[in-house]
Amino acid sequence: MENPAPTHPKPHRFPALTVPHFRLYAATALLSMAADNIEHVIAYWVIWQLTHSPFWLGYAVVAHWLPFTLFSFYSGSLADRLDCRWLIQISQSLFIVSSFGWGFLYLTGQLQIWHMAVLLVIHGIAGLIFSPSSMLIIHEMVGADKLISAVSLNAILRPLSATIGPAIGGLLMGMVGPGWGFIANILIYLPMSVSIMFYPYRGATAGKRSESEWSFILEGFQVVRQNPMIVALLVVVAASSLLLGNAFQALLPAFAQQLGVSSTGYSILLSANGLGAILGGFLLGWAGGTKLRPVMVTAGALAWSLLLMFFAVSTIYSISLILLCMLGAMQITFVSMSQSIVQAWAPQAVRGRVIGVYNFAAQGLRAPSGLFMGTLATIIGPATALLFLAGIIGLVILGVSAAIRSLWELEMKKESFPSAEATVAVSGS
């Protein structure tokens, strides 16, 4: 009698979801991010009602990213040294303080401009602390083999929460008003605040240090400097963040006017970009059997810059919708891949500090991006400005692509670089 051929279990299409703690994390993180967006929606409405000033609306965006510009390196250092569960709880507590402050001051009629400025910065600091700590916790939860799946699914949460949050925020304002809407929002932060303390992971690996804080932070820079491939990926991310960042979405009303559509058409443009990001994240998390390579990041980023140029010159609404959907998918794909590769290649003892450097490139440089886009759009028009900046980004990426190809071939010959097996795998194998 012949022995039956051995069967191999089919690989899970979303390997990170096989980890129970990651499933809990994803659910509570979605709630926390939705609460973040709810607070933004209500706060922007209150700011406009009290000031009727576009300046303060612009300040609200800058205040969110400015802490990343100034303190990304330090937040990475904290994540390496301290229990990341406590850091995440501190970040959630700051989010709660911000929501409570808005609600209390609004309900008591005491809200002033300087209060709003302080609360916006507190909210930004909360996001700064949360980012590297959550990355280290996720890495420890799922391991290197499921990292790209986890990072991709985690990246989906942001556009998903940006879809859910504003709807809930508008509903709360309509039902109970802005003040009580802020207070009710506190409850949505609580699940992550409580559940994180029961995780058997702490993320931090460096422990106590004997050197100065600055020397400790510099270790992260030294690791990055010694790895030219990581430097190349950071250049790609930094170029897209510094030259464009989130300013592209801010100018969508101008493109809606160029396309001749109403406010409803503008809302659909926004939704198309978010839908593309969600689909792109799901496809990347679902993909199996593919090993990530740095050249895949540059290819995705180059495709993103080309799509931006096509969108800039598009005059047909339906084509613009398709391009926006593709833009959302391509952006979340190359950002998730670059983040996963940097995390996987960073030595465990300094991973938080390397992530801090990555966060500075990916998020900290977004603060001045509005100046580039806004100034250029004022001088030469939104479409020409987008075409010009996307072209510069594309040229930078082409240069980095050539360097990455040469570096990869050289290091593979010397066998001094992470091998194909050490590269992050999309599948859970």
Answer with the residue of higher pLDDT: 64 or 19. Answer: 19
Report pTM. 0.76
Structure tokens at 405: 């190809």
Read off the pLDDT of each residue in 205-231 and give the average, rounded to a whole number: 71
pLDDT of residue 428: 35
Answer with the residue of higher pLDDT: 349 or 82. Answer: 82
Helix, strand, coil content of the chain in percent (nearest 5):
80, 0, 15
Tell me which residue of 295, 180, 311, 306 sits closest to 251, measured CA to CA. Answer: 311
Bridge partner list, 291: 425
Q: How many CB atoms are located within 10 Å of the residue 100 CB? A: 15
Asked if pLDDT for residue 208 goes beyond 70, the answer is: no
Answer with the residue of higher pLDDT: 210 or 116. Answer: 116
Tell me which residue of 262, 263, 252, 418 sits closest to 347, measured CA to CA. Answer: 418
Read off the pLDDT of each residue in 127-154 and give the average, rounded to a whole number: 85
Give residue 74's pLDDT band: very low, low, confident or very high (50, 70, 90).
confident
pLDDT of residue 198: 86
Measured distance CA(335)–CA(82) in Å, rounded: 26
Chain mean position to CA 54: 25
Least confident range from 156-170, 202-216, 359-373: namely: 202-216
Q: How many CB atoms are located within 10 Å of the residue 171 CB? A: 12
Tell me which residue of 336, 348, 357 sits closest to 204, measured CA to CA. Answer: 348
Q: With H, G, I as helix, E, B as strand and everything else as coil, classify residue 9.
A: coil
Give residue 291's pLDDT band: very low, low, confident or very high (50, 70, 90).
low
pLDDT of residue 108: 95
pLDDT of residue 10: 54
CA distances from 57 to 41, 61, 186, 303 (A): 11, 7, 23, 32
Convert the pLDDT of each residue in 222-260 to its tens digit. 888 878 888 888 999 999 988 887 667 767 777 888 888
Measured distance CA(90)–CA(79) in Å, rounded: 12
Asked if pLDDT for residue 423 goes beyond 50, the answer is: no
- Residue 364, CA atoms < 13 Å, CB-side half-sphere: 23
Give residue 427's pLDDT band: very low, low, confident or very high (50, 70, 90).
very low
Q: With H, G, I as helix, E, B as strand and everything else as coil, classify residue 425.
A: strand
Convert the pLDDT of each residue in 364-383 to its tens digit. 888 777 677 777 887 888 88
Read off the pLDDT of each residue in 8-15 and give the average, rounded to a whole number: 62
Q: Could you write out the DSSP letters of every residue in 338-398?
A: HHHHHHHHS-GGGHHHHHHHHHHHHTGGGTTHHHHHHHHHHHH-HHHHHHHHHHHHHHHHH
Find all residues with CB under 8 Å of 6, minimum gap 6, and list them: none
Query: Domains along the chain?
Result: 12-202 (1.20.1250.20), 213-429 (1.20.1250.20)
Read off the pLDDT of each residue in 398-422 and give the average, rounded to a whole number: 61
Give residue 292's pLDDT band: very low, low, confident or very high (50, 70, 90).
low
